[in-house]
Amino acid sequence: MAKFDFPKGFYWGAATSAHQVEGKNNNDWTEWEKEHANRLANEASKKKFPEHILNLNPSPLDQNNYISGEACDHYNRFREDFDIAKSLGHNAHRFSIEWSRIEPTEGQWNQKEIQHYQDVINALRERGIEPFVTLWHWTLPTWVAKQGGWENKKTIDDFVRYTYKVTASLQGVKYWITLNEPEVYTGKSYFTGTWPPQKKSLIKFFKVFCNLIEAHKEAYTTISKTGAFSGISQNNFYFNLFLNKISDYQNFIGINYYKYWNLGRLKSDMNWPIYPKGIFHVLKDLKKYKKPIYITENGLADAKDEKRSDFIREHIKWIARAMKEGANVRGYLHWSLLDNFEWSDGFWPKFGLVEMNYNTMERKIRQSAYEYKKIIESNSIEI
């Protein structure tokens, strides 16, 4: 077996998003959760879950599972969480800024919240961890949702103004991710109609898709003026539709990889097939854009932590093989640092390197996190 050495300075870490970990948010999702928790719990009672999932607290049958509420209280405990990340050898971390905290009312900036995110960035930097900061990870301030969200062209201007405010105010960020998985959002919110605002319309789907493209391009131009880098995080599905539209408006490509069509016999707790080799194909395909690539998410729901160590090792192996064949990968961010609120599935899917006890807010490092740490420390992998 040969050994592949990652380049010096390769970024290793994990990712989160504001709504999934912070707690006490007030945005379009929090409103939606209150209205739909009952229905989601009822629907879950008609599905088949294995015993160990039904025994989780909260369980998928419990309404509380579908209310983000306090989440991981990461808003208050970020220093403790970054201490854990540091102890696990991480030198990079992706998190998102909650627009609804920064601009709770149209045009009114909340300086205290801007300072909060500056504190978050400083806490990372003090621990030698490079921040990768997402500006929009799917949630909208309620005033934006009320004006029609991304269906309304005005939201583009509002988003760009928010981008300007945040990127001009916050110091110490080199890598900005403007939008998280715009295709997944557009699909779930406007095509299948399963996520807020639950519209099913091809016309709206295209409108939102085009508005997100415009929003990214303008945000990219705004960020470029500060000298920082920006790109999007895209899911490997959707044939690079979004990427092709913005290819001249990005400094890097962020890729979120979970699965590859229906290949792979082994399944995660969410029944997603596991197929590490797919990341190799995806990365080789992305070579044509001639941009640095960051894996901005890759992970699985695995409450028993039985499959995560192999999952991480195998994916990193295939990333190394793609790099050997010329893919310009600069970092790997595992999803996620903590168990968290998995959108309309709620709390039961366990994606964390760190296990959460939602009653006590206690954090417990999973064995797989230590296995990942070994890879990080050797900065190499057997391929």
* Chain residues that interact with ligand BGC, rule: CB under 6 A: 17, 20, 180-181, 184, 235, 256, 297, 335, 342
Query: In the complex with ligand BGC, which residue's Cβ is closer, 130 or 297?
Result: 297
Query: In the complex with ligand BGC, which residue's Cβ is closer, 159 or 335?
Result: 335
Query: In the complex with ligand BGC, which residue's Cβ is closer, 6 or 260?
Result: 260
Q: How far apart are CB 342 and ligand BGC at their closest, in Å?
A: 5
Query: In the complex with ligand BGC, which residue's Cβ is closer, 68 or 235?
Result: 235
Tell which residue, 9, 19, 182, has the closest CA to residue 95.
19
Query: In the complex with ligand BGC, which residue's Cβ is closer, 162 or 257?
Result: 257
Separation CA 308–CA 373 (nearest Å): 13
Q: What single DSSP character describes residue 108?
A: B
Separation CA 191–CA 200 (nearest Å): 5
Q: How far apart are CB 137 and ligand BGC at their closest, in Å?
A: 6
Q: How far apart are CB 16 and ligand BGC at their closest, in Å?
A: 9
DSSP bridge partners of 136: 179
* CA dist list (Å): 378 to 10, 126, 311, 327, 375: 12, 23, 18, 21, 5
Q: What single DSSP character describes residue 182?
A: H
Query: In the complex with ligand BGC, which residue's Cβ is closer, 230 or 234?
Result: 234
Q: Report yes or no: 20 and 341 within 8 Å, Cβ to Cβ.
A: yes
Q: Where are the beta strands (DSSP E) in the chain?
A: 3-5, 11-15, 92-96, 130-136, 175-180, 229-235, 253-257, 293-298, 329-335, 354-357, 362-365, 380-382
Query: In the complex with ligand BGC, which residue's Cβ is closer, 32 or 335?
Result: 335
Q: How far apart are CB 147 and ligand BGC at their closest, in Å?
A: 24
Separation CA 255–CA 257 (nearest Å): 6
Q: How far apart are CB 298 and ligand BGC at their closest, in Å?
A: 10
Query: In the complex with ligand BGC, which residue's Cβ is closer, 16 or 381?
Result: 16
Q: How far apart are CB 109 and ligand BGC at their closest, in Å?
A: 26
Separation CA 239–CA 25 (nearest Å): 33
Q: What single DSSP character describes residue 304?
A: T
> DSSP secondary structure string, 128-157?
T-EEEEEEESS---HHHHHTTGGGSTHHHH
Region for 136 from its dihedrals, namely left if φ exceeds 0, alpha if ψ lies in -120 to 50, beta otherwise: beta
Q: Report yes or no: 365 and 354 within 8 Å, Cβ to Cβ.
A: yes
Which residues neighbour 126 within 8 Å (Cβ) at sequence distance 6 or greater? none
Query: In the complex with ligand BGC, which residue's Cβ is closer, 211 or 235?
Result: 235
Q: How far apart are CB 340 and ligand BGC at their closest, in Å?
A: 7
Q: How far apart are CB 74 and ligand BGC at their closest, in Å?
A: 14
Q: How far apart are CB 226 and ligand BGC at their closest, in Å?
A: 25
